[in-house]
Amino acid sequence: MQTALADWIKDTPAGREADAILRKCVHCGFCTATCPTYQLLGDELDSPRGRIYLMKQVLEGHAVTAKTQLHLDRCLTCRNCETTCPSGVQYGRLLDIGRSVVDERVPRPLGARLLRSALKEGLTSPLFAPAMKLGQAVRPLLPASLKAKVPAKQDAGAWPTRSHPRRMLLLEGCVQPAMQPNINAATTRVFDALGIELVRPANAGCCGAIRYHLNDHDGGLADARGNIDAWWPHVEAGCEAIVMNASGCGAMVKEYGYLLQHDPPYADKAMRIAELTKDVAELLPALAGELKRRLGVAPAQRVVFHPPCTLQHAQKIRGAVEDLLRAVGAEVLPFAETHFCCGSAGTYSVLQPDLSYQLRDRKLANLQAPQPDVILSANIGCIAHLASGTDTPVMHWIEWLDRRLG
């Protein structure tokens, strides 16, 4: 499409990037078919094409209103539209720019600002773990809305103590150790069984996605720099990979190179970190034969795998987990709308609860239709969100594998 960006943005890096993305969009509307918010609301302005049009107007200097902000806020950033788009429109990047410009021009009410600030600082704070512990202690007394955000206390089991010549780094994440510590422990046990030591640098922290996607770009990039500083000595010492077991974190860390390209002290390091970053689903298939040998003949279990948007649409890893689960003896059941978001989407379930819970229930209906023994996924946010709406066990697929390995 043709564009005429306003003078105040057209010659900036963000303006040039937005212009190139906008020009790729041919307004065909194919993306509307797979957009969750358009499917729920039926409003063109809650579709990717409509939001692209809104952002084009903003960047061309037209008036910006709270209504524009609302339609952008309702976007899950699931990037399903990117997977569908035949023209390669990088909608996610455009949205980051669009949201930032809109938020500069439309101040949010005090309550909304306080909530966003509490999410940004609270979820990434060292106080999150004690707060979660307290929440778990009084969980039976919590109202249903709060209970949905506080998973029952989980035992992580034993951590491996052996050393191996093969070493990789593991990002533990900000909320995952407090909410479901078994995911990190299970990951280290599975890798240990395969002869790989996962090192967990204590000074690494949040990947930066929480702050970045709440429009605090500086805060998100500061988190990224902190992780690069924590990991770099291990990279120089020859660590093989940086392992991600939360697909949301993986999607963010793989973008470090792009996000820090204009930061000379960090640009090259960030690029190297992004290259070394791998989701567990990219590392374990190479070891499927060894896993199968160790598992022997375990009884088959009927499972469904919900691929998070950050795995299938952002990282573009599709089918690898399902293939691995089949290779180690699971019966992976098909279900409808595998491409659809479960509604978790980072902090979306707090900021847009109505849409979020509609999507959760729609996803659970599809996942439970084939009557699985267990629902598997690959991201802490999706796992906790889905678990809040069902009695069917929900876990990370690496936990399932760890259990099978015994």
Give the footprint of ligand SF4 on this chain (CB under 6 A).
25-31, 35-37, 48-49, 51-52, 75-81, 84-85, 87, 89, 91
Minimum Å gap between C-beta 376 and ligand SF4 is 22
CA 210 to CA 214: how far, in whole Å?
Answer: 6
Question: What's 245's DSSP letter?
Answer: S
3-class secondary-structure state, position 208: coil
**Residue whose CB is less far from ligand SF4, 51 or 189:** 51
Q: Are 376 and 325 in contact (CB under 8 A)?
A: yes
Tell me the sheet residues that pair with 198: 168
CA 345 to CA 249: how far, in whole Å?
Answer: 12
| Closest by CA position to 345, among listed 312, 309, 318 | 309
3-class secondary-structure state, position 244: strand
Minimum Å gap between C-beta 21 and ligand SF4 is 9
Minimum Å gap between C-beta 86 and ligand SF4 is 6
**Residue whose CB is less far from ligand SF4, 77 or 184:** 77
**Residue whose CB is less far from ligand SF4, 48 or 250:** 48
Minimum Å gap between C-beta 24 and ligand SF4 is 7
> Residues for the chain: how many in total?
406
**Residue whose CB is less far from ligand SF4, 26 or 112:** 26
**Residue whose CB is less far from ligand SF4, 77 or 347:** 77
CA 280 to CA 170: how far, in whole Å?
Answer: 10
Helix extents (H) in 25-127? 36-41, 48-59, 66-73, 80-84, 91-105, 110-123
**Residue whose CB is less far from ligand SF4, 268 or 354:** 354
Minimum Å gap between C-beta 259 and ligand SF4 is 18
**Residue whose CB is less far from ligand SF4, 96 or 402:** 96
3-class secondary-structure state, position 376: strand
Minimum Å gap between C-beta 260 and ligand SF4 is 23
The burial class, CB within 10 Å (0-12 / 13-18 / 19+), for 113 is exposed
CA 325 to CA 305: how far, in whole Å?
Answer: 9
**Residue whose CB is less far from ligand SF4, 78 or 382:** 78
Question: What's 170's DSSP letter?
Answer: E
Minimum Å gap between C-beta 115 and ligand SF4 is 21
Q: Are 62 and 74 in contact (CB under 8 A)?
A: no
Q: Are 3 and 60 in contact (CB under 8 A)?
A: yes
3-class secondary-structure state, position 302: strand
Count of CA atoms in the C-beta half-sphere (13 A) of 390:
26
Minimum Å gap between C-beta 36 and ligand SF4 is 5
